[in-house]
Amino acid sequence: MTRFGFLLAIAMSWIGAGQLRAADTPTPRPNIVWVVVDDMSANFSCYGEKQISTPNVDRLAKEGVKFERAFVTAPVCSACRSALITGCYQTTIGSHHHRSGRGVETITLQNGVVPVPKLFQQAGYYTCIGGFNAAGKRLGKTDYNFEWDRSIYDGNDWAGRKPGQPFFMQVQLHGGKYRGQGPNPAWQARIRQEFGSNTDPNQVTLPTVYPRDPVLLQDWADYLDCCRFTDREVGQLISRLEREGILDQTVIIFITDHGISHARGKQFLYDQGIHVPLVIRGPGLKPGSVRTDLVEHIDLAATSLGLAGIAIPKWMQGRNWFAADYTPKSAVFAARDRCDETMEHLRSVRTDRWKYIRNYLHQRPHLQPNHYKDDKAIVKRLRELHAANQLPELTERLLFAPTRPREELYDLQADPEELTNLADDPKSAAQLQAMRKLLSDWERESGDQGVKPESPSRYQSDMDVYRRESGPKHREILERNIEMNLKWVREGK
């Protein structure tokens, strides 16, 4: 252990605003395990979900620290994961477009930025990334938008480490993706086999914006069963660590890569898309602690390095939540850019009470054509109800208006579901101006690369990859959507 790491281990026995408990003697460097889940919001018992029971995530919260207000900086997989693994805003490192840099025009990290596993390797850690039951040599989901070297991972499971060697493991769980794009009898049958029964769709509570339609209710019930299944996987991970006698030497960090995939969730900057669960259990952490301050997922890299006693590089924008000099954030920021073929430019800032969203492409509709999302049964059903004029006025206005406001302002204290836009309310003018400045300052100071439109050549480079990967049916839809996006650009939309 380095002298820095030794001193940090001592210091962390009393710092962290009550989140750390005293230790009589220094402990070995802890193992660090990230449990990263796809497409899932904070629908766990410890976060107040009543429809299902999630005892294993609840156990992590009871024995560790629960963060009630954790947010991702990007509400879609690859942009979020690119930020997560570097500890930098995806907009700063140029990885803000979803599944970008995969064609002939690649993206490389600049200014000394390297993926976090490399820093753990350099400190003597065994680094690995895998699915829940790792097999063979296949790595788990990475989904980074920049060029990276496979050698930053030593394997896909910690079993390959040297005796006594600490490890950094990323456990990738399928999460909300288990339910698929539409009604999934196979998934429902698996849940019945595992748990004895399925979540009853008639008992589901939907967000106000969604109509209580059978298709949407069934999808949400299937999603809650994904949460139950994910919780069981977490329990199996805990059991393995207990069997190997290393649970109390291991920091377990449970987080998702963005919120539920839905019409106002994944890919969007409402809390349904960016608010995520975050629970940390490990040596030195005070059991049952609850953090209510605002945190961003890019801080996870710095926090993990800090818990391992590894120096945090100056280029990293994230900060260690448990450091003695950590200052709670007054605001968190998020960005959504192109997803697949669909061009977009959204930015948001969220404070304790207020949310401000800037729609740069406000002349486009909220639910722009997108071959991935339009293939979902829930979106198909919403479009059917819209075409038949059968949607409630609120749903019609928020999801299917032909254009969007340039700015959205929400009082989260009075309106937690973000349904009433106060941007044009004279009473909120001062707050609107303050939030505008917060966001503009962040864009400038963080070096937001999304201020410039994506070049036509890079767009076509990435679209060529989508063309190759799409089947004939999807390719026809993809081409139609690509042409529509290019047409809107020509029209100044």
Residues 6+ apart with CB under 8 A from 373: 261, 267, 367, 379
Round to whole Å and give the CA distance between 322 and 183: 43
CA dist., res. 358 & res. 450, Å (int): 13
Statement to judge: residues 374 and 274 lie in one domain: no
Please report the sign of the dihedral spanned by the C-alpha atoms of residue 76, residue 78, residue 81, residue 86. negative
372 shares a domain with 257:
no
* Tokens found for residue 154: 């030593």
The total domain count for the chain is 2
Contacts of 40 (CB under 8 A, 6+ apart): 175, 176, 226, 227, 230, 256, 259, 260, 276, 277
Q: What is the mean pLDDT of residues 275-288?
A: 97
Residue ending a domain, among 329, 358, 384, is 329
289 and 398 share a domain? no
Final residue before a domain boundary, out of 329, 351, 379? 329
Q: Which pLDDT score is estimated for 473?
A: 82
Same domain, 420 and 313: no
On whether residue 472 sits in a domain, the answer given is: no
In this prediction, what percent of the chain has a pLDDT beyond 90? 91
24 versus 383: the higher-pLDDT residue is: 383
Determine the Cα–Cα distance for residues 338 and 78; give it in Å rounded to an integer: 11
> Quick one: pLDDT at residue 27?
58
Q: Predicted confidence band at 303 (pLDDT cuts at 50, 70, 90)?
A: very high
Give pLDDT tens digits for 195-233.
999 999 999 999 999 999 999 999 999 999 999 999 999
Query: Does 377 lie in the same domain as 298?
Result: no
* 479 domain residue, yes or no: no
pLDDT beyond 80 at 401 = yes
CB-CB contact of 93 with 287 (8 Å)? no
Residue whose tokens read 């589901």: 204
Q: In terms of residue numbers, what domain contains 62? A: 3-329
Of 160-174, 247-261, 280-294, 463-477, give the lowest mean pLDDT range: 463-477
Given a cut of 70, whether residue 16 has pLDDT beyond it is: no
Cβ-contact 337, 450 below 8 angstroms: yes
Residues across the chain: 493
For the chain, what percent of residues have pLDDT higher than 70? Answer: 94
Q: Would you place residue 5 in the very low, low, confident or very high pLDDT band (cuts 50, 70, 90)?
A: very low
User: Which residues, other chains included, contact 277 with Cβ-Cβ below 8 Å and sequence gap of 6+?
Assistant: 40, 41, 42, 44, 47, 57, 70, 254, 255, 256
Strands 354-359 and 346-350 turn out to be antiparallel
Shared-domain flag, residues 96 and 163: yes
In this structure, what are the phi and psi dihedrals at residue 68, rounded to the nearest 5 degrees? -80, -25
Contact 254, 60 (CB under 8 A): yes
What is the reported pLDDT for 13?
33
Rounded average pLDDT over 263-280 = 98
Calculate the alpha carbon distances from 112 to 153, 302, 379 in Å. 19, 16, 42
* Residue 235 within a domain: yes
pLDDT category at 7 given cuts 50, 70, 90 is very low
Q: pLDDT tens digit string along 28-80?
A: 899 999 999 999 999 999 999 999 999 999 999 999 999 999 999 999 999 99
Local structure of residue 417 (DSSP, 8 states): T
Largest CA distance in the chain: 69
Mark residue 15 as left, alpha or beta (left: phi above 0; alpha: psi -120 to 50; beta: remaining).
Answer: beta
277 touches 57 (CB < 8 A): yes
Q: Is residue 132 domain-shared with residue 192, that is, in the same domain?
A: yes
Buried b (16+ CB within 10 A) or exposed e, 304-334: bbbbbbbebeebbbbbbbbbeebeebebbbb
Same domain for 344 and 289: no
Is 459 domain-assigned? no
pLDDT reading at 26 higher than 70: no
Q: Is pLDDT of 91 > 50?
A: yes
In a domain, 136, yes or no: yes
pLDDT digits (tens, 9 = 90+) for 119-167: 999 999 999 999 876 556 889 999 999 999 999 999 999 999 999 999 9
Phi first, then psi: give them for residue 277, nearest 5 degrees. Answer: -75, 150
Alpha-carbon span 121 to 103, nearest angstrom = 29
Q: Identify whether residues 319 and 347 lie together within a single domain.
A: no
Task: Please give the residue that has the higher pLDDT: either 9 or 292.
Answer: 292
pLDDT at 131: 87
CATH number at residue 361: 3.30.1120
User: Can you give the pLDDT at residue 87?
Assistant: 98
Residue 137's pLDDT is 80
pTM of the model: 0.93
Please indicate whether residue 138 or residue 190 has the higher confidence score (pLDDT): 190
CATH code at position 47: 3.40.720.10
The Cα–Cα gap between 168 and 332 comes to 27
Structure tokens, 486: 């290019």
Q: What is the arithmetic mean of pLDDT over 433-458?
A: 97
Confidence of residue 369 (pLDDT cuts 50, 70, 90): very high
Same-domain pairing of 208 and 343: no
Phi and psi dihedrals of 12, rounded to 5?
-70, -5
Residue 490 is assigned to a structural domain of this protein = no
Least confident among 13-22, 289-298, 381-390: 13-22
> What pLDDT is recorded for position 28?
83
Instruction: Judge if 164 and 19 occupy the same domain.
Output: yes
Residues 203 and 135 in one domain: yes
**What is the pLDDT, as a whole number, of residue 19?**
53
Contact 96, 113 (CB under 8 A): no
Q: Of the candidates 301, 329, 357, which is a domain's last residue?
A: 329
Mean pLDDT of 261-267: 98
230, containing H or E segment: helix 214-243
pLDDT averaged over the chain? Answer: 94
pLDDT at 2 over 60: no
Q: Is residue 464 part of a domain?
A: no
Asked if the model's pLDDT at residue 478 lies above 80, the reply is yes
d(CA 173, CA 232) in angstroms, rounded, equals 11
Q: What is the pLDDT of residue 21?
A: 40
- Residue 471: the pLDDT is 87
Is 478 part of a structural domain of the chain?
no
